[in-house]
Structure 1
Amino acid sequence: MPGSNQSDVIRISRDVSDEEKTAVGRRKIKVHNSFLKLGVNTTMSSVPNVALLGSGGGLRAMIALQGVLGELQKEDLLGAVMYLCGVSGSTWCMSFIYEHEEWLGKLPTLEAKMCDNLVNQSWDPSKSLDALVEPSKEKTYSLTDFWGSVILYAMLHELDYGHLSKERMVSFNGAVPYPIYAAVDSNKLDDTSKTHPGIWFEFTPHDAGFFHSGAFVDMRLLGSTFENGVLRILKNEKDISYLRGLWGSSFADRKEDVKEIEDYIKHLGEQASASSCHCIYCQAASHAIKLLIHAMEGTTHEHQDENITNIMELLKDQVGSNTYNFLSLLKDKHNTLDKPGRVAQFLTLADMFTQEFADRTSPFTHHEETKRSIWDTLRILSKTVYCLFKWKWGTISNYTYKYSSLNDKNLTGKEELRLADAGIAMNSAYPLVLRPEREVKLILSFDFSSGNPFETVKEAVLYCKENHLPFPDIDVSELDKSKDSPYDCYVFQGHDSPTVMHFPLFNTVNCKDKVAEWREQYSTLKVSYKEQEVKNLLEAAKANVRNNKGRILQAMKSMQAP
């Protein structure tokens, strides 16, 4: 764990960290050797940096990036990549493979494991609740916690309690590309345009932060409480499941999908409302969970009166308690309330009931296998419902709070950050690899987006124009003409700008005349795949690399120093 000196944990600089420079320096030796094997004659001092971008796109992006990486390695091209940078679904793939040291040589095995996880494994609701016991005790608890430990677990069939800082060892010797994960600050996005660099928040194994403000924190301490640069409360490092929920939380921008989250809450409540303890308070808590679930339904429910009566009967010796009195009032009026009003009343009941009676139960009331009590379950579900109706996502303690050394009052004035899926702003993390400090000369942009495959390129053009960054001059109107029938590779070059190679996942080469059908079959909202669907998607992604090996190699050769 870092020392107590603030210089050890908070870094005020627009430069990349010294640790990243060291890792990239070691990676440069491997990249140089790879270039020589490919016939790209360059010196160590002039090795060009190649960045691979994986866009967002849910499970489609996760699977497709796995296929891209596997084929690049097979074609001896992955060794030339310095940076691997992902958004949303691509970060799920990255965090999966970076668990393994020397993963470049293990990609076929990892591909098979990913396929098995998605097709043959399952979701255990009880484990989801167990994972939320500690996070739900924090005031920063949000739908991001729920999203990562419940919905993404239900999709990926994996809970990952590992930590991003562990990837330091994986990237230490330069054997693999240096990883960069992207998010945006929703607070800032509400106040400014999507092209403002200040909205971007990056994660590396070493630190996390805003590159535009030049404010970073040691990755192990993101989520701990700071004030004026001083660590006040040390918290556990955020685990990968939480980070996957944060990186891939595009639902935070889609309130129309609230029903899907409600359905998961109801499912958990129905599965976990029974208590192993038979004391009157735990049995009452069980009925309180059922009430909370029923309250989320849009119409009155016949079992609400029954559950209220059951709780009152269990608490008949507590007639003077606040909870009993509140129940008496609620019984007479709950059927007259609309859904928000009903939910608000039952959230009040859950909080009041817990405060009055949770500490009266036996210390041996936890689930025998999980150590989770019915009170933990009630807290998790009630706090999640509260976050749902407040639409609270991505809240995390702000390490720059009241930090006098940072001249950004819009940032330092807030106790909490609100981080979300970078795809809300731009579905490929061009801003992170276009940082001048990273000196990227070639960008391999693999676009797994739904719909227009050129949207990320158009947004990158606008971003660079407004921020005076070098980027190829691209006629975006010409691109739009082929958005429904794109080729498999586009090369954009410009004077004193990085070369951009853009690869739409579904194109007229690997999909022939059925691009629209492929897009429909692999929609972003598709949450489960059959084995053959996974294999077909992997092959489509691999074909984009295989069919363009020569063009990628030519682009690498064109970067040679004169």
Structure 2
Amino acid sequence: MGSNSSSNQGQICIPGQNPRQREVTSVNLLHVKVLRMRNVRKADLLTQSDCYVSLWLPTASAQRFRTKTVKNCSNPVWNETFCYRIDSRVKNILELKVCDEDRFSKDDELCVIFFDVAKLQAGQKVCMKFLLNPQEQEELEVEFTLQNVLDYPENIITNGVLVSREVSCLEVNGQEKKRKQQSTKEELTLTVKGSHEGTQNISLDADSSLRNSIVFHCVKYIQTKLDITVPKKMRYCGQISTKEESLPLNSLPLQKKITIGKGKRFDLHVKAKEWPKDLDVRLGFDLCTEEQEFLCKRKKYVAAALKKVLQLEEDLQEHEVPVVAITTTGGGTRSLAAMYGSLLGIQKLNLLDTVSYITGLSGTTWTMANLYEDANWSHNYLEEAINKARKQVSKCKIHGFSMDRLKYYYNELKERCQQGHNTTFVDLWGLMVEYMLHDEKDYHKLSCQRQALSEGQNPLPIYTAINLKNTYSAQDFKEWLEFTPYEVGFWKYGAFIRSEDFGSEFFMGRLIKKLPESRICYLEGIWSSIFSWDVMYFWNVAFDSEDFWHRWTRDHVKEIEEDPVLYTKLHETETRMLTPAGPLATAFRDVLTGRPTIAECPNFLRGFQMHNEYLENEQFSTWKDTVLDTLSNQLTETAEHPLSLADTGFFINTSYPPLLIPQRKVDIILHLNYSGCSQTLPLDLIARYSSKQGIPFPRIELSEEDRCNLKECYLFEDAECPRAPIVLFFPLVNDTFQKYKAPGVERSPTEMEEGKVDVSSPCSPYSTRELSFTEENFDKLVKMTDYNILNNENLIVEALRIAVERRKQQVPIYYKGAFNK
């Protein structure tokens, strides 16, 4: 939808900086002339392909264009031209899809070419030959012309990775004209491709005193149209003889009412208007203001605790206070119980106040959510919380399937649907988790945990999940998503929303539909969703390899040659060709990656486009680890669909990533491992992942003897890389606890039985599948993890001392806040 104002000043806004004027050359007209193709491959063995080319440039048009079909020809000629208005500040990737038209089945996709429009120079005409298969001399010939437009560009907001563009609001009012016969009360189906709403129905009721109205939100400067589908009863009556009518929106004037259907049985009034709403998604790679203020308050607790533990003579200066964090692994009820014991041991050593962050996944999120219901939990003796947990863990879970409970589940899910939330089986699982951990309905919400952080009195909790993409395994595509009481967001994109807005609907960074905040039990269902597995997960556990997946089921993407060769800048992508997997491979892939159920939540990235130089952004590149990350259309296409969230354990059973963000400057990580299989595998995987991504992390060196007979604690430090955190690794092992009931206190012969805690054998009572423990087994596990912390006090204190010395050697960095107030 165009603008009727000539004073529209094109600006680019970067969060944290003042808007600056952009030059007018960022707006261009792109003419794409599809010329011909040579030696087209056959889609089948019997005939030549009935070939056509489909064009898709989602940053400029919501419509897919296509050439005519040339029948039964290996060298088709089209000479058809298509035009786009583009903004060079966004990543414009033109997709040219070569297809074989089939009359009685779905058209075959022969290949897809991804061409970065940024390679073109304004004012030049370039005839490109894409060499699809040099051996068979298969090539596609396309002519590109890029022209400057003497117009001011639109205002955009960007963080260097995502781009938010101007949005228009399209109001549509409709009413059937009064007739002698009874009103039909029919509905028109209206569609605006690329809008947030997509397709809506509008009721036509001549008897209504108020006209029915609907609203579409769409990108202001993008080619799209309003499609109107007329119901059958209204066709062939009066002057209506077509099924559909269309109204182009790219040239629709603002604030002017347009009437469609004059002289027909209905009036449809359309008016476009500006929607200059501020962003509700925070774009940026800094810690949010609330977290920065929390850290300033927390440092006072940390500094006081360190002075006491390290027996320092002088107070620590602000820049000398290290950031200590706890990371955990999942493991269902086992990890819930074990984490209570670990935290109890840390509390007994007076070290809880030295910790600034606690991250969790799967079962440890249950422990964290329970603790943070108490706004002062770390300063209250944890025995009371452990007693409550023992009662819940040991109770019979079969009552969770009683008729009364099933009725409760039904009513809760029904109410959730009425609120507007999309419900899945994961929501039911969340209600079952609620029953396992509470006797009554839990009204607690994530944002409520801010009370436990108001004075910096407790560490900041961070919960993790991964966003997946259908038809891809977790190893092949995943994005870390973190939840704090302040925000939910992706560090990969630098996009965050308030925690109370998670589950609401967004478009282009604006809040479109506010839904009530979910109770935390529904989030616990997401964080610990054991139902999101796929066959590939078990394949990777068994073979630790994706070669089979990549070789036989994945779409093949490769760089192809161009003639002429265009100059490529660092931020521009090479031209690639995707060859879809065959029908058999696609079906096999669906079997391998199909998940019984997955949590689906509205995607708050919806509508955003990628910045032209996003691949060169250091923040994005740190977390870029899949082939899709270099295909911007696939990333923005993902944003069109709901977030598909799963337990982080389906990729790496650890909650490290939030602590590896450089903005958090974490110095020490206490890795509390509660996994049920290999104790070292989560640590090895995150070390391997960090190395691949260029994230500072200490080298993990364990001898074969240690791997076979793990001790209670290991310290890993990289003295040559001060940016790498110190890692204290606590595997879930029963070592000296068998002979000692407390550090230095041996067991008597009658107490030896208490030291027998089986945490590793196949017959262990602490299996991940076990949802209930006996009180005796619960206490044994808590006491063992408590002991393992206490017995390694010296290593923890040594790590703290090293971290303080490191900080003292660094240049002071002063933060906004009131550390010394």
Q: Scaled by the length of structure 1, what TM-score is found?
A: 0.70
Q: Classify 1:530/1:254 alpha carbon distance in 2 versus 1 (closer, same or farther; 3 Å).
A: farther
Distance 1:519 1:485, change over 3 A: farther
CA spacing shift, 1:169–1:252, aligned 2, 3 Å? same
Structure 1, residues 507-546: CA drift from partner, whole Å, max 9, x if none?
Answer: 3233578553497221111111111111111111101111
SS in 2 for 1:205: coil
Give the unaligned 5+ runs of structure 1.
258-388
Work out which of the residue numbers 519, 534, 544 in structure 1 matches 2:788: 544
Higher relative contact order (CA 8 A, sep 6+): 1
Q: Which amino acid aligns with 1:452?
A: S
Is 1:397 the counterpart of 2:597? The answer is: no
Checking the alignment, whether the CA contact within 8 Å between 2:531 and 2:598 is kept in structure 1 is no
Aligned twin of 1:38 = 309
SS in 1 for 2:737: coil
Residue of structure 1 equivalent to 2:298: 27
Question: 1:416 deviation in Å?
Answer: 0.7
Partner of 1:225: 505
- Deviations, residues 409-438 of structure 1 (Å, cap 9, x unaligned): 444432311111111111111111011011
* Partner residue in 2 for 1:516: 760
Q: Distance in 2 between matches of 1:226 and 1:520?
A: 46
Tell me the distance in 1 between the aligned counterparts of 2:392 and 2:436. Answer: 9
Does residue 205 of the first structure (1) align with residue 485 of the second (2)? yes
Matches within 5 A, 1:146-165: 146-150=428-432, 152-157=433-438, 159-165=441-447
Match of 1:247 in 2: 527
CA contact (8 A) 1:87 1:248 kept: yes
Does the CA-based 8 Å contact 2:393-2:771 persist in structure 1?
Answer: no
Question: Per-residue CA shift, 1:436-458, capped at 9, x if unaligned?
Answer: 01100110000000111011110
2:288 equivalent in structure 1: 17
**1:72-128 Cα shifts (integer Å, max 9, x gaps):** 111101110011111111111001000111111232211111112222475333332
Offset at residue 236 of structure 1 (A): 0.9
Aligned amino acid, residue 180 of structure 1: I
**SS at the partner of 1:553?**
helix
CA distance in 1, matches of 2:706, 2:429: 36
Aligned to 1:451: 677
Q: Residue type of the partner of 1:142?
A: T
| Rg comparison, structure with higher value | 2
**8 A Cα contact 2:474 2:651, kept in partner:** no
Deviation of 1:506 after TM superposition, in Å, equals 2.1
Rounded to whole Å, the distance in 1 between the matches of 2:717 and 2:461 is: 25
TM-score under structure 2 normalisation?
Answer: 0.49
Give the Å deviation of 1:470.
Answer: 1.2
Displacement of 1:191 in angstroms is 6.5
Match of 2:774 among 530, 536, 541: 530
CA contact (8 A) 1:40 1:556 kept: no
Mapping 1:297-336, distance limit 5 Å: none
1:119-268 aligned within 5 A: 119-120=394-395, 123=400, 124-137=405-418, 138=420, 140-150=422-432, 152-157=433-438, 159-187=441-469, 190=472, 193=475, 199-253=479-533
More helix by share: 1
Structure 2: distance between partners of 1:134 and 1:144: 16
Say if 1:46 and 1:40 are closer, same or farther in 2 by CA, change over 3 A: farther
C-alpha contact 1:143 1:391 (8 A) present in aligned 2: no
1:502 corresponds to which of 729, 736, 740: 729
Q: Equivalents in 1 of 2:534, 2:695: separation in Å?
A: 31
Which protein is richer in strand relative to its size? 2
Q: Work out the CA distance in 2 between the residues paired with 1:19 and 1:247.
A: 23
Distance 1:117 1:53 in 2: 24
Matching of residue 91 in structure 1 with residue 346 in structure 2: no
Three-state SS of the structure 2 residue aligned to 1:9 is: coil
Counterparts of residues 273-284 of structure 1 (less than 5 Å): none
Measure, in 1, the Cα distance between the counterparts of 2:471 and 2:375. Answer: 36
Alignment partner of 1:553 is 2:797: yes
Partner residue of 1:464 out of 684, 690, 693: 690
Displacement, 1:140?
2.5
C-alpha change, 1:184 and 1:37, in structure 2 (3 Å) is: same
Work out which of the residue numbers 113, 121, 125 in structure 1 matches 2:388.
113
The answer to whether the Cα contact below 8 Å between 1:206 and 1:219 also exists between their aligned partners in 2 is: yes
**Corresponding residue for residue 72 of structure 1:** 346
**What corresponds to 2:715 in structure 1?**
491
Deviations 1:468-509 (A, max 9, x none): 111111236x36x54453111011110222110000122323
CA distance in 2, matches of 1:75, 1:96: 22
**Distance in 2 between the 1:412 and 1:444 partners?**
36
- The one-letter code sitting in structure 2 at the alignment partner of 1:247 is W
After TM superposition, list the pairs within 5 Å mapping 1:279-294 onto structure 2: none
Quick check: 2:305–2:354 contact (8 Å CA) kept in 1? yes
Asked if the contact 1:485–1:507 (Cα under 8 Å) also holds between the matched residues in 2, the reply is no
The answer (yes or no) to whether the contact 1:488–1:504 under 8 Å persists in 2 is yes
Distance, in Å, in 1 between the alignment partners of 2:319 and 2:772 is 47
Q: Tell me what 2:322 maps to.
A: 48
Q: Post-superposition shift, 1:5?
A: 8.7
**In 2: Cα distance, 1:502 partner to 1:209 partner:** 28
Counterpart-to-counterpart distance in 1, 2:708 and 2:778: 23
Evaluate the alpha carbon distance shift between residue 418 and residue 432 of structure 1 in structure 2; reply closer, same or farther with a 3 A threshold. Answer: same
The 3-state SS of whatever aligns with 1:133 is helix
Note the alpha carbon deviations across 1:144-193, whole angstroms, 9 max, x for none: 1111113x235334543311011112112100001111110022892774
The amino acid that maps onto 1:66 is Y
The residue that corresponds to 1:312 in the other structure is: none
2:446–2:499 Cα contact (<8 Å) kept: yes
| Distance across 2 between alignment mates of 1:81 and 1:12 | 28
Q: Provide the aligned length of Structure 1 versus Structure 2.
A: 423
2:643 to 408, 414, 417: 417
* Alpha-carbon contact 1:6-1:229 (below 8 Å) kept: no
Identity rate, percent: 29
Q: Is the 8 A contact 2:280 2:510 kept in 1?
A: no
Partner AA of 2:374 in structure 1: H
Q: 1:400 to 1:74 in 2, by over 3 A?
A: same
Provide closer, same or farther for how the CA distance between residues 416 and 217 of structure 1 changes in structure 2, counting only shifts above 3 A.
same
Mind listing any 5+ residue stretches in structure 2 that lack a counterpart?
Answer: 1-274, 538-593, 615-631, 740-755, 810-821
Aligned CA RMSD, in angstroms, stands at 2.7
Q: How does 1:357-376 map to 2 (within 5 A)?
A: none
Retained in 1: the 8 A contact 2:532–2:595? no
